[in-house]
């Protein structure tokens, strides 16, 4: 019989995977917006940050590191109101000032990923509690 702790663990795991999949779907849908932001960035600053240029055409579905590197120039200004480490430009106001239709979906992608991580952490804590006699 499955007890309450086991059910909570299963629920946390399922929710974690669900939000992870939602984040992956959002990142796939954001590719078009990413390209549009890149064009606007080039118009404003002349070129993309060097690390973004290097990883721009890499298939990020397989190489997670490249996705985080090339997206940092968008995410860091949105979340921490700071320019990316990979740029010499003071571009935080530019990124934050883009139309909501462009940057709003990136917030959604990040929120899905953060919620997914939270459920995985909860699942890990529950697994520890179940394994060590709490369930």
63-114: pLDDT as tens digits: 667 777 778 888 899 888 988 888 888 889 999 999 999 999 999 999 999 9
54 vs 103, which has greater pLDDT?
A: 103
SS3 75: helix
pLDDT band at 50 (very low <50, low <70, confident <90, very high): confident
* pLDDT of 61 over the 70 cut: no
Q: Taking the CB of residue 93, how many other CB atoms lie within 10 A of it?
A: 10
Distance of alpha carbon 17 from the chain centroid? 14
Tell me the CA distances in angstroms from 35 to 30, 38, 40, 103, one per residue in order.
9, 5, 9, 12
Give me the pLDDT at residue 89, please.
85
Q: Alpha-carbon distance 23 to 28, whole Å?
A: 9
Contact 31, 134 (CB under 8 A): no
What does pLDDT average to over the chain?
Answer: 88
């Amino acid at each position: 019989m499955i007890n309450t702790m086991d059910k909570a663990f299963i629920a946390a795991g399922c929710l974690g995977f669900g939000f992870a999949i939602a984040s992956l779907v959002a990142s796939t849908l954001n590719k078009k917006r990413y390209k549009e932001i890149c064009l606007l960035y080039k118009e404003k600053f002349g070129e993309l940050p060097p690390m973004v240029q290097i990883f721009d055409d890499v298939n990020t579905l397989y190489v997670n590191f490249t996705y985080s590197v090339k997206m940092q120039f968008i995410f860091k200004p949105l979340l921490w109101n700071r320019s990316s480490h990979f740029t010499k430009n003071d571009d935080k106001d530019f990124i934050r000032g883009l139309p909501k239709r462009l940057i709003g979906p990136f917030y959604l992608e990040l929120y899905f990923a953060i919620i997914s991580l939270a459920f995985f952490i909860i699942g890990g804590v529950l697994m520890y509690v179940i394994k060590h006699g709490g369930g």
